[in-house]
Amino acid sequence: MLRGALTITLLNLAEIPKRIGASLVVVIGIAGVVGVLISVLAMADGFLNTMERTGRPDRAIVLRGGSNSELASTLARDATLAIMDGPGVKADDSGHAIASAEMVAIVELPLRQSGTAANVTLRGVGPAAFRLRPDIRIVAGRTFKPGLREVIVGKNAMTQFSGIDPGSRVALRDSEWTVVGVFDSDDSHGSEIMADVDTLSAAYRRTLFQSVTVLLDSPDRFDAFKSALEHDPRLSVEVVREPAYYARLSEQLGRILTFVAYTVGGIMALGALFGALNTMYSAVSSRSVEIATLRALGFGAGAILISVFTEAVLLSLLGAVIGAAAAWAFFNGNAVNSLGGNFTQVVFHLRVSAGLVATGILWAVVIGLLGGLFPALRAVRRPVVDALRGAV
């Protein structure tokens, strides 16, 4: 049966140039499905990957109890000092806690491409912020000086927003601040603007902080740190591992992007399926006499079924390869921005991974199998005598 299936399949493939138009319908349709599916999933994957890289298991973020995000949280100065004195917080060589009490605000900046205003996170950080987050690296200029109205901007933010190049002056609240440096970070902080927390709080006339992020001696100290703070009668706080916090912020948008990808991909897949059905029906109909002759010569129904399935799957796989290659060539690594969990723009890079390509190929195979199913059944169910008589 397998030898017969191979023989018939080779005959089928040799006939494809004679019906190239119908075959291209399948290939192009599948390529569109796979390309769109992978591209939208690459957006979700890139966003989630950026947010996941923001957290480290040995860092914890402390918010006011009941707060879902930093913007909804407020902490008094005496509370931040108590948090930094918590058990398990790592200290530097001078004995100071490696922690940062931070203020978070939202500013509007124009996008470079469209000029429309979008929200950007403005973060005031403490003196230990860069020891706390060693992945933040100054790549141009210098860092801000405490007491001066200076800011540094994330490299990702600078590529997406105008007016924040080094040396520029940015209007924040009721004054202008000078951009003195650019920092790079592989996580969501690369989409932010940072300044000295005390200087920024004074400019915004704030006396409260939004969060405290601490570096622990080890990830194993988290439970003790969390228990001590959440049971401290002086405090009303929620302690979250940093990866869990950013996963919580990204969860909703990740679900939306994944839903859009599979919904749009499913609609397009339905269209591609009908195209495959039409193509394979046409191929079977045009070769009904040939199929009947093969059956009369002793080729079994199983061999014919396999040959029709194989042709449909091969055309689908060709479309999948084209779609995946197009998605990788045009979208992989592209920087885009989307609204994140704090209602501010997060800049991230689309990521076309091997897993997404495999998902696209799997969809193509399923469409090819379904597209070849009914035409294959029709090919073997039609009586041989009727097919041969129809050719007379």
**CB atoms inside a 10 Å sphere around CB 350:** 23
In this structure, is residue 133 part of a structural domain? yes
For the chain, what is the mean pLDDT?
82
Host domain of residue 197: 66-235
Statement to judge: residues 164 and 298 lie in one domain:
no
pLDDT band at 241 (very low <50, low <70, confident <90, very high): very high
In this prediction the pTM is 0.69
In this structure, is residue 30 part of a structural domain? yes
Is the predicted pLDDT of residue 36 greater than 90, yes or no?
A: no
CA distances from 99 to 53, 62, 129, 135, 318 (A): 19, 11, 7, 15, 54
**CB atoms inside a 10 Å sphere around CB 129:** 22
Statement to judge: residues 44 and 106 lie in one domain:
no
Is the predicted pLDDT of residue 239 greater than 90, yes or no?
A: yes
Statement to judge: residues 72 and 211 lie in one domain:
yes
Q: Please say which residue of 207, 235, 263 terminates a domain.
A: 235
pLDDT band at 343 (very low <50, low <70, confident <90, very high): very low
Give the whole-number percent of the chain exceeding pLDDT 70: 79
In this structure, is residue 245 part of a structural domain? no
Is the predicted pLDDT of residue 178 greater than 90, yes or no?
A: yes
In this structure, is residue 59 part of a structural domain? no
The H or E element that residue 3 is part of is helix 2-15
Is the predicted pLDDT of residue 108 greater than 60, yes or no?
A: yes
Statement to judge: residues 295 and 257 lie in one domain:
yes
CA distances from 382 to 218, 286, 287 (A): 72, 14, 12
Region 231-252 average pLDDT: 86
In this structure, is residue 242 part of a structural domain? no
Contacts of 78 (CB under 8 A, 6+ apart): none
Statement to judge: residues 160 and 282 lie in one domain:
no
In this structure, is residue 58 part of a structural domain? no
Task: Work out how many domains the chain is built from and give that number.
Answer: 2
- Chain centroid to Cα 39, Å, comes to 9
For residues 271 and 2, which has the higher predicted lDDT (pLDDT)?
Answer: 271
pLDDT score at 392: 42
CA distance 183 to 192: 10
Statement to judge: residues 192 and 222 lie in one domain:
yes
Statement to judge: residues 44 and 132 lie in one domain:
no
